[in-house]
Structure 1
Amino acid sequence: MKQDSGAANVPACFISTHEGFLGSIKNLIKDFVVTEIDISGQCVNTETQPPACASSHKYNDTSAKRWENKHSVSQDDDDDADYGADVTIPSPCSFDLSVILGQAVSEELEQFVLTLKDENTTKQELSLGYFSDKHHRANVHRAVRHRFPFLMTVTIQPEIRVREDPDYRELSQLVTEDEAEDFFRFIDAKVRGSSYTFGPDDNKEHRTTVHHFLSRRFGKLVEAKSFNDQGTTAITVRLREQGRPKKRTTEDRKEEEVYTAFTLCKENLETLEAISYMAAALGVLPSDFTYAGIKDKRAITYQSMVVKKVSPQRLKEKAAEFEKRGMRLSQIISVGEPLRLGRLQGNHFDLVVRDLRAHGASDTHSPGANTHTRLAALIKEAVENVKARGFVNYYGPQRFGAVQSVQSDCVGLALLKEDMVGAVRLFFTPEEGGDDPQSQAKRHFLQTGNAKECLALMPLSKARERLMLRALNRYGTGPDGCAQAWLSLPHSTRVFYPHAYCSRVWNEAVAHRLTTLGHSVRRGDLVWFQQGQKKLEDTGETSSPQIHVVTDQEEQEGVYTLGQVLLPMPGNTVKYPENSMGSWFQERLASDGLGDCRFRVGSLKLNLPGCYRPLLACPRNLRYNRRNDGQRNGTPVEGKEDSLTLTLNFDLDSSCYATICLREIMKCDP
């Protein structure tokens, strides 16, 4: 059964033939609640034990010895170093100068800064006014230095004056202005245990000059060392701790062995966005956080996380600050190891579908009492069908960025073709008609190619964009510079885009398989190997030794069911079906210029082995309930007298999408 689909890259091919119904989801954030189910089968928002961690993923002592052994302290085992990352910068929301100083003084300060740069002098000063309250003075000092790292703030009680910092001017002659600004923010933040890494610098004489400056001007506050990582050398600066010797002690190393597990509840935030904020506030790297899976943005989600180098007490101290940003932390406890991606059984969903109506009904027409019976029948038939038969296991629209002008799979295709410049331009394509700061910054980059100016326009919250712009500013916008820009992102972020492309191909493949070969198992299909069958813990999908090719006899005898059929995600280790689907994959990849693709991008350290994904998925513990939204606390709601709402509760395996399950139930894009 086919039907037009508005969902990006998700074909409208269904497994059941019921009529379905119309409705809307995510009207409210609380309408979509996702709760991770850990490896022991417990929902993490009720489980009081620490998350189940992979016993084979013990702490690697190499990371604790990086400083002594001269391995880059800013690089995780799986992620590349984020040179110049804003890991120590406090929340910019706390530093609104127009609020702290008043609009007039704030504008005067902005003009003063322009005058300083134009006249190239250090002699000018500006009075910001008189502040009798010491807490107010402290806020002024922090806010001005955060916004303008090159300024000094001087208190002549109760007056505060500003002038250019001569140390900043000297450092900006040795490194880029962006690095100088970030270094001064790092110094000002003084986050315990934090470090800052300058950009790669293979000129030993220049590094020596930088070391001498740092030692002369900041030697009592920081220590600096050069580290070599994969042939590239850079200077890393670490804050000293008062009363401790320069050489790191056993206690220092033990701090890096600390792992703290917690449950994160977030609202209307991407998982990576939440991690970026927490990392900045705690003074650690985003790669110091491990998690089992990415969760929806427009939802309330509960998931397990582990952060290293942060004690439970320190995390608890930051909980109130995180809550202001839509993140609630609970079940904070010490553990011995990190989490592993995919180390979960699945997710539990609590969904609300509002404004129910039959297909063909007007969007503004609420069902009357005489249609409630028909709607109830439609809902029951739909839910029972999906409970019994499952749904086509498509990757959901959020895999591709459904609302973006250029979706993630297009960027992934460019990366697989090693078109680094094209991939960067696609990444920085703004939303059509978008006038928000992010879109304006992207548009400016495409028009001018000026990464530095674009960086100044890009919101601080856009961590990925800012990392890439820093690299583009440092290395240029040619092929090599664009490759460095991609390398500035963590490995998990880089590989997301090629995976999105492979997911699009998989979605098209399953629709073609059902359309051309039907709902029966056919010769040449790939299925689970029945004897000794098991799933990989990290993906929920099989490895190639467990794959069996269906024979003619097995097709005729009906040995296998459609729920056992697998389709491969393109990669360099997978087996393709030995029927018409095998040639379809070859032709499909060739049409995108990937006929000879090895699914490796050496310059970006990406390798895509591929995997196998079941054609169907099935919800577990599926329950539903209808209610009339026309009454709230016994009072009729105007315009909603006969509006019906459906609540759904069910569990899905990891990597399965609730929106796709709901799509099969409703026979439309909800």
Structure 2
Amino acid sequence: MLAQTTDTSIASDHQQYWNVDVENFEEINTNLANVITEQQLQSLQQLAHQHHQADSEDSHHQIIIGLVQDKSKRTIIRQSISLLYPNLQTVLQCQNGDKIIIVEPNPNYNQLKILLPEHQVDGLLRFISKVHITKCGHYTIDVHELDKDQRRQLHHRISHLFGKFIESKTIAKVNKNDKTSKNCIIVRYKSRIRNRYYKDKDNNDNPLYLKFILRKRNVETLDAIHKIAKALGCHLSDFSYAGIKDCRAITYQQVTVKNVKPQQMINALQKIKSQEHIQYGNYQFIHTPIRLGQLKGNRFRILLRDIRLQDHDSSLIDIADLHSQIIQSMEEVKKQGFINYFGNQRFGKTISTVNSYDIGLAMLRRDEKMAVELILSTVDEDISDNATMQALKYYHTSGDLVSTLKKIPSYKSRVYLILKALHRYGQNIEGYRKALLNIPHNMRKIYIHSYCSLLWNRLVNYRIEKYGYNVVEGDLVLLGNVDNKPDSTDTDAINQDQLVKLVTKTDLALNKYNIYDVVLPLLGSKTIYPSNTSGSVYKDMLANDGINDSSFVNPMLNIKIKGAYRKILSVPKDVNFSLHILNCQHLHDDCHDCCSNILKNQTCNSRFHFKLEMTLNPGSYATVCLREITNNDAII
């Protein structure tokens, strides 16, 4: 901590020395003086003066402002210091559970001072502090003494430090008197973000969000939305949805997009290639967006083609036996349900050895380089996307980022965005972290959820083998009627501590719970474990992978997984099923188009197809249910 001494010469010259392009200096200084002590104010002046005179920041010098409970006062401290002392920065540090405000040298200051004089660095950083509040205006940097390479370095440095919300451009500024021109760099808030900000302000009383139905096939949800966003010219963060749908199935889901009109959506559809895989319509304006976790359930219509009994060797099929077996299997599943495993879709089925849970584990281990390399080594099973496969093969053999970016389809959002970030920030520790931050936040979380799902599947196997279908002491049960709501992708939306309790001996004596109430935790920083052996097995799994509960909070990747709970059994609802005789020419992709005949007790060599409709809770997998019905692991 900086010694609490006072330099009267610094204090007396404070306004003259620091009041460079600072409007309302007296008001800002007075506001700051009202929320910190006089001694702290003098220490700020001394630290700022010392840092200005030093060639590099001294990380050992800092001022501890302390705990400030009032949020408005914290805002005054942060904004005032950034305007009065641009070479300093405020940070929050956790000490004994409290967030302490600390002031220290701003590392960005010396990075900019290499290319610009101090007064221009001061002005630029003050402008950036203001633009967070005003979202408007610009700052002009005089660069007539810099050559082209130095200007390029400055653009790169500004983009590197503030590229998420600031853009810069070199222009030739003409002098009106002598008509001469000199180069300047204009720095301003990014136009796309600026326009979105003013749209929000102008539309407070009007619906901001357009809801529509998205139909897709052989396209991942995020890839489909990325295609639509690119065609519209808007950002991925403008879209929201309740969950991720299966890639290969024909799926329908509600999506909302911000500040877009129906005609724009119609025009965008004409720009999207392979329109047969992506369609949308049914537009409606609403005031609030759809959020992850709002899903109440999924309705499935499934057609299983060419079914037969497993032990039937003849080409002739006894319809009565087949029909009887189907009815028996369906009644068992309708009554008893099925083990609520996560299906293979959760783990990313690929032609390589990489799965989503491998990437999630690398992220939990803070190994960003490994996570990026695993993502780039994953090739989708869909061989129709030959361009992506060829581009990735080219990258792995040549290492040429620029050429790979030209070859790869931009709608392949994860791979494209990662390569783009590596090209921009470099293949180093910071570059790998920026690459992961460049993909959508929900996708980063999905990788970690995939790892959590793998461990959950392993634990439910142990739980069933150890205790069967009986409720035992130390099991976890849900409180209240929440179904599988915490099993959404966005587990942070639910306060997990209020959802579960441990089963006691008294609960068992009163026969208070049954197996359909029992849950197992999806791991996170606030997970409550079963108090029986299931809990210790879970912790051993984590330890073997080199992680613990704290691994699920990673501020560097903006990851905070609190945890969730999932029922070990799932029971389908509103189940309808039927057996059909179809000829090959009558088969269509959509089971709505199937032609069927009335079944009679007979033996024939026709092909039989099983049609099933059912509703499952959010997070339950139809493929897992089908595996239970057909007793066939190949179904998934």
TM class by shorter chain equals 0.5 to 0.7
1:567 to 500, 508, 520: 520
Matched, 1:467 2:417: yes
RMSD: 4.0
Matched, 1:226 2:188: yes
Report the counterpart of residue 344 of structure 1 in structure 2.
295
Distance 1:574 1:304, change over 3 A: same
- The separation in 2 between residues aligned to 1:614 and 1:572, in whole angstroms, is 20
Report the counterpart of residue 374 of structure 1 in structure 2.
321
1:443 to 367, 373, 393: 393
- Identity, % of aligned pairs? 32
Deviation per CA, 1:307-340: give whole Å up to 9, x if none: 1111233334445555835333222122112111
Matched, 1:425 2:373: yes
Distance 1:258 1:560, change over 3 A: closer
- The separation in 2 between residues aligned to 1:72 and 1:457, in whole angstroms, is 40
- The separation in 2 between residues aligned to 1:256 and 1:451, in whole angstroms, is 44
Which residue type is aligned with residue 562 of structure 1?
Answer: I
1:579 Cα deviation after fit? 0.4
Report the counterpart of residue 360 of structure 2 in structure 1.
412
Say whether the 8 Å CA contact 2:484–2:566 is kept in structure 1.
no
1:535 Cα deviation after fit? 5.7
Q: How many residues get paired?
A: 461
Say whether the 8 Å CA contact 1:224–1:238 is kept in structure 2.
no
- The separation in 2 between residues aligned to 1:596 and 1:240, in whole angstroms, is 39
1:590 to 537, 543, 568: 543
Report the counterpart of residue 327 of structure 1 in structure 2.
278
SS of equivalent to 1:351: strand
Which residue type is aligned with residue 390 of structure 1?
Answer: G
SS of equivalent to 1:567: strand
Report the counterpart of residue 262 of structure 2 in structure 1.
312
Say whether the 8 Å CA contact 1:535–1:542 is kept in structure 2.
no
- The separation in 1 between residues aligned to 2:390 and 2:253, in whole angstroms, is 34
Distance 1:328 1:455, change over 3 A: closer
Distance 1:225 1:309, change over 3 A: farther
1:279 Cα deviation after fit? 0.8
Distance 1:572 1:303, change over 3 A: same
Distance 1:632 1:280, change over 3 A: closer
Matched, 1:667 2:631: yes
Report the counterpart of residue 212 of structure 1 in structure 2.
171
Which residue type is aligned with residue 467 of structure 1?
Answer: L
Report the counterpart of residue 48 of structure 2 in structure 1.
none
Report the counterpart of residue 543 of structure 1 in structure 2.
496
1:70 to 101, 122, 131: 131
Report the counterpart of residue 330 of structure 2 in structure 1.
383
Which residue type is aligned with residue 208 of structure 2?
Answer: V
Instruction: Please identify which structure carries the higher helix content.
Output: 2
Report the counterpart of residue 434 of structure 2 in structure 1.
484
Distance 1:239 1:534, change over 3 A: closer
Report the counterpart of residue 609 of structure 1 in structure 2.
562
1:665 Cα deviation after fit? 0.8
Q: TM-score, normalised by structure 2?
A: 0.65
Report the counterpart of residue 138 of structure 1 in structure 2.
none
Which one scores higher on RCO, CA 8 angstroms, separation ≥ 6?
1
Distance 1:577 1:512, change over 3 A: same
Report the counterpart of residue 137 of structure 1 in structure 2.
none
Which residue type is aligned with residue 410 of structure 1?
Answer: D
Consecutive unaligned residues in structure 1, runs of 5 or more: 1-66, 75-169, 181-196, 217-222, 228-235, 242-246
Distance 1:510 1:537, change over 3 A: closer
- The separation in 2 between residues aligned to 1:631 and 1:207, in whole angstroms, is 59
Say whether the 8 Å CA contact 1:430–1:443 is kept in structure 2.
no
1:635 Cα deviation after fit? 12
- The separation in 2 between residues aligned to 1:71 and 1:641, in whole angstroms, is 72
Which residue type is aligned with residue 171 of structure 2?
Answer: H
- The separation in 1 between residues aligned to 2:596 and 2:325, in whole angstroms, is 28
- The separation in 2 between residues aligned to 1:68 and 1:259, in whole angstroms, is 30
1:238 Cα deviation after fit? 5.4
- The separation in 2 between residues aligned to 1:351 and 1:490, in whole angstroms, is 31
Distance 1:277 1:576, change over 3 A: same
SS of equivalent to 1:264: strand
Say whether the 8 Å CA contact 1:619–1:652 is kept in structure 2.
yes
SS of equivalent to 1:571: coil
- The separation in 2 between residues aligned to 1:239 and 1:612, in whole angstroms, is 37
1:547 Cα deviation after fit? 1.3
Counterparts of 1:38-57 in structure 2, within 5 Å, are: none
Q: Rg bigger for which structure?
A: 2
Report the counterpart of residue 552 of structure 1 in structure 2.
505
Distance 1:441 1:349, change over 3 A: same
- The separation in 2 between residues aligned to 1:256 and 1:509, in whole angstroms, is 49
Distance 1:667 1:318, change over 3 A: same
Say whether the 8 Å CA contact 2:170–2:186 is kept in structure 1.
yes
